[in-house]
Amino acid sequence: MVVGFFPTACACLLAVSPVADGGCDTTGSVRLEGVVVRGATSGSGRSLALPVEVAGRGFLREFFTGDLSRTLGRVAGVRSMDIGSGFAKPVIRGMGFNRVVVSENGIKQEGQQWGADHGLEIDAFGVERVTVVKGPVSLLYGSDAMGGAVEISRGLPPAKEGIYGEVAMMAKSVNGTLGGSVMVGAKRGSWFTRFRYSERHFGDYRVPTDTIVYLTRRLPIHGRALKNTAGAERDAEGHVEYLSGGYHGWLAASNAYQKVGFFPGAHGIPDASRLTDDGNRWNVEMPYSVVNHLKLSTRQQLARWGALFSWDAGYQGNRREEWSLFHTHYGGQQPPERFPDRELSFFLETLSSSASARWGTEGREWTVGWDAQGQWNRVGGYAFLLPDYDRWTTGLFALFTFRVGERFSASGGARYDRGRVSVAASEDVYLADYLRGRGYDEAEIEYYRWRAYGARRHFGDVSASFGAEWRVDERQSLRINAGRGFRLPGAHELASNGVHHGAFRHEQGDPSLSSERGWQLDLSYTREGAGFSFSFSPFCSFFRNYIYLIPTGEWSVLPHAGQIYRYAGARVVFAGAELSLGMDLPGGFRYHFTGEYVYTRNRDARVPLSFSPPASARNVLSWGGARFRCHAEWQCTATQRQVARNEDPTPGANLFHAGATGTLSLGGARAEVTLSLQNLLGTRYHNHLSFYRKVEIPEPGCDIQMVIRVSF
């Protein structure tokens, strides 16, 4: 089936869509006293002197891309690490993967987020508000929050009783996307319920190049489309909520499903024969991945005796499978009897629970809480990368906020966590036979046949934060915050030992690793006035045991594997700043500038870290009112020459984007149409944060997107 963009866009015109909120929100630095961070650790509101950005419903709709990480890439200090085939991950101040927590409605999202080709299993259509907290926030969220947190929260129930709903449809030209979402909700008395279903289909991504380079070999890209990057996504979510007096509770269930093909030129060992055009832009062949994420959660809150008591609990089942035609790396390996083409499978189950109490008097506020999490990961498939493992963590924390008058406040807290990781032993009899046939002695065979040794590690660590805010006057404020954070090593850092096809290398864990520890200092100056806003936020971090992959110079005994990359700890420095400026211009125009810079340095190896984001800036000129808005944007990215070993510099780029949104009334409904044009000139450029950068695959060319929403 071939679906073009313009027929798709015409089909969209027949659709109806979601509840719209009148104005257009923008992101920007906000005063901490006005921010309520609902963290996965306790589910209660806390205020700390940390850099915070808030993306409201208007912003999320005007810059909607179908993927939350790419939308948040417009926020100062946040980047999107994407590989063009439906996967993207948020990166905050140069940190991503397991160093950034994504929390949805009080439950920390848990999946196989350590891989670049493992995206967020969250329905972008259903996101209404996002709070981005920058810097080490393990005090609030526990381990895995060294770089920051992305907190997704649901909107408030409607004030009036009745039935309401929304239907949205979207289309994109770069990969022929056709997607839509339907939501129906009802409110009666103290009860509120809502159900949403979303679906998205897309074809192979188009890129402005005819060739790629893999290990100095030039391979063809037929028709300027990345073969087998088509896919589909289906999401369903429902929840019921009750609010009366001092009690507020909800139950929610969601399921996210994705099936996306892997580009054969970036999976396994590429060759020209695998890239031959099959004449079908919409099919998904092997290799491909299938992901299903089931989430059940509840929140119970009670306001009594001058305090707010909260309890969050959740279950998540994350299943990820990678399928590829059975291929043997060893001469005698036989395909499995069941699912012979299932290369890898991971099934991670997570149980989480947290409780907190918050109370205060005038100018004083205290919060105490506890949380715990248990994880069980089971693996399968004919290829080996990770063994089975279990993980348990628990923590206690206490926070405070003191306000002195109207202009000064101080806040901080401390937290202690304990964790345990148990790794199952695993051996590879095929590798043993392979090495025996090549003349290795029995001592070496015995050493290599154990792909993972059984191990049990215990960890304990402390995090703390202290900050202050001074409201100089009604327009100006100064903030400072110093904190210490930690991160427990992940199972992949302790026990992985195999070929990671998406990364083109043999990755090996180190079971003796200690937890990461870091210290960060944040400063912020904000000035807001009539028609003018300015903010400047410098930061500096030091890590004593930053865990990263280092090329060892050792040649892997695994066939087709190359050099071994091993996880190790190092002393690392991060530093940088974000700058934001906005001003009203004559004629109803508004200019907004955001710029960011991140410096990284491995002090032990005396080189920068890999995937360090280059300096960048956005210049946006917008105009409009309540019914029509439009904007033009010039995005500048500097050349990134600060690269790690075995990493290529990435040239800079100048990109131009534009967009417009119009609303109109249709009887009792409200329609909203958003048209956006990304990379208007079709500039050929690379994303330094993309794993596709290694094989010189550029980012997509010109992309025209239309989203139509009607609410009733």
Q: What is the pLDDT of residue 504?
A: 65
Lowest mean pLDDT among 40-44, 368-372, 632-636: 40-44
206, 174 in Cβ contact below 8 A?
Answer: yes
Contact criterion met (CB below 8 Å) for 381 and 400: no
Q: Where are the domains of the chain?
A: 5-711
Residue carrying structure tokens 């967009």: 659
More confident residue, 538 or 16: 538
User: Does residue 19 register a pLDDT over 50?
Assistant: no
Closest listed residue to residue 193, CA positions, set 257, 253, 234: 253
Q: Which two tokens stand for residue 107?
A: 């439950």
- Which 8-state DSSP code applies to residue 339? S
Percent of the chain whose predicted confidence (pLDDT) is above 70? 89
Q: Terminal CA-to-CA distance of the chain, rounded, Å?
A: 33
Give the model's pLDDT for residue 20: 35
Residue 70 scores a pLDDT above 70: yes
Q: Which CATH class is domain 5-711?
A: mainly beta
Residue type, 657: H
**pLDDT for the residue numbered 98:** 87
What pLDDT, on a 0 to 100 scale, did the predictor assign at position 84?
A: 61
pLDDT digits over 413-431, tens only? 999 999 999 999 888 877 8
Q: Give residue 42's pLDDT.
A: 34
Question: pLDDT tens for residues 488-530?
Answer: 898 888 988 887 766 667 888 898 999 999 899 999 999 998 8
For 138-147, what is each residue's pLDDT tens digit?
Answer: 888 888 888 8
Average pLDDT for 443-472: 88
Q: Specify the pTM.
A: 0.89
The dihedral sign for the CA sequence 401, 576, 633, 130: negative
- Torsion 128-134-138-144 (CA) sign: positive
Burial (CB count <10 Å: 0-12, 13-18, 19+), residue 672: buried
- CB neighbours of residue 502 within 10 Å: 20
- Residue 646: pLDDT band (50, 70, 90) is confident
Q: Given CA atoms 473, 475, 480, 481 in this order, what sign does their dihedral have?
A: positive
Specify the amino acid at residue 221: I
pLDDT score, position 29: 38
Cα–Cα distance measured from residue 139 to residue 570, given in angstroms and rounded to the nearest whole number: 23
pLDDT score, position 266: 66
pLDDT of residue 46: 47
The answer to whether 267 and 501 are in contact (CB under 8 A) is: yes
| Average pLDDT along the chain | 86
Q: Which of 52-66, 213-227, 348-362, 608-622 has the lowest mean pLDDT?
A: 213-227
Query: For residue 219, is pLDDT > 90?
Result: no
Q: Which two tokens stand for residue 140?
A: 């609030």
pLDDT higher than 60, residue 41: no
- From 57, 237, 139, 689, select the one nearest 462 (Cα to Cα): 139
Q: Give residue 496's identity as a one-letter amino acid code.
A: S
Kindly tell me if the per-residue pLDDT of 232 is higher than 60.
yes
Please give the pLDDT value at position 6.
32
* Assigned token pair, 52: 């915070």
Rounded Cα distance, 623 and 549, in Å: 47
Give the E-state strand segments of 262-362 in sequence order: 288-304, 307-323, 342-361
CB 624 within 8 A of CB 585: no
Q: Is the pLDDT of residue 209 over 70?
A: yes
